[in-house]
Structure formats: C-alpha cells, structure tokens
Structure 1
Amino acid sequence: MPALQVREFPEELYEELRAYAALHHRSMAQQTVAAVDRMIHGDAGSERSKGSRIVSFESSAERERRLEKRRGIFARAEERRRVAACLMPEPSALLAEARAERDARFDELAAEIAEKCR
C-alpha cells in the first residue's frame, strides 16, 4: 500500500487532527485517509470504501446506544459493589477474628506441649 508523507504540516492543524482521531477512536492514519476520502468523494466515499482497508465506523446514534449500554453495565457493577460492601465485615473485624483464631491455636499447642513435658 502506498505511503504519504506531508512536509510542513501546520502544528495546530496536526493537533486538531490528532484530537479528532482520538475522539472517533481512529489512528492518525485512519483519520487522515477517512478525511481525504470524504473530501474527494463526499459521504459516498465511506460506502465506496467498504471493501477497502478504510474501516466503517458507527453513526453517532449507534455510538450513543453503545455508550449508554456501557454506562448501564458500570452502574450495575457499582450497585453490586455497594451491596457487597454492606455485607462484608470491616477489615478491622476480620483482622481481630484472625488474631483470635491464631491465639486460640497457640494456646492449644502450648497446652499440648505442656502435657507432653509433664
């Protein structure tokens, strides 16, 4: 596939292109090809290039539906985390319980050793 190098590209325009590409989840190369294609062929360019290497991207309505679904997933995950946090004991309580179990086991072992020494 041919490559294109552009000299003396205005830095401000470059940064705008970079931001626009990121906003549309494209690489700089993908965004540049899409922009040139759209400039030359208009909106028909995206239809023309379906078989080529240019990726067809979702419409703004499709993107909004996808993002809304994602927000819903994150909201349900956050709710599950809150419920789980309410059911779980405090870390200090878990630590106190573990120490009590450890101390009880040490006491048992000390008693066993004391019995063997008698």
Structure 2
Amino acid sequence: MTKKVLVVEDNELNLKLFCDLLRAHNFEAEPVRDGREAVERARRFQPDLVIMDIQMPHVSGLELIETLKADAELNAIPIMAVTAYAGKGDEGRIREAGAEAYVSKPISVLRFIDSVSQLV
C-alpha cells in the first residue's frame, strides 16, 4: 500500500522538490502551502508522515508540531522537520516540540529519502 506524506512548506520550489522526490520513490504526496491549513488537511488526508517546514508566515512549524502532537486523532503521525533554521539548539527545540526527525536545508536527497523511509 502506498504511504501518504503531507508536505507543509511555503516555498514553492522546496514544496515541488519534496513532492517530486516523494512521488519518485512511490509515496503519495499532498502539498500544503499555508501552515494554517495543515491540521485540517492532516485530518482529511490521514498521512503516514508529515514533513514540516519550521519558518513559515502566519504560523510557525514549531506551533504546528505542538498542535498536531496535542491532537488525539493526529498525535501518532510522525513528523519530520525540514528547515534552514539551523542555529545552535534548534534541533533540540524542534525535537522537544514533538518532531521525530530533523533534516536541514539545503537537503541531501539521499538523507531526505532515507529519513522518510525510516519514519513510515
């Protein structure tokens, strides 16, 4: 059965890259451009994994991770944070919010797909 991945990313080029990579590796990818839609889309799509940008307009990826992990219907879905927000201590804060994995941008294609495969 094809695994489903919700990709929450405001940058169009990154969103296309992540979705294209996922589809090339036989995942069903659902793009979300606006973080404010992420929780509702996760409820409808029922993904096996959420890939989350951290720095987005309107709502931060950290807030979304915490919201997803606090939701009884969605909290079992693993979350992979993908971000250029890679200062000292950032990975720790992202993991504390509830993300199971962290990949920094610019991504390594092999590391990205390997991380996805480990989580689903």
- Larger relative helix fraction: 1
TM-score (norm 1): 0.25
- Larger relative strand fraction: 2
TM-score (norm 2): 0.25
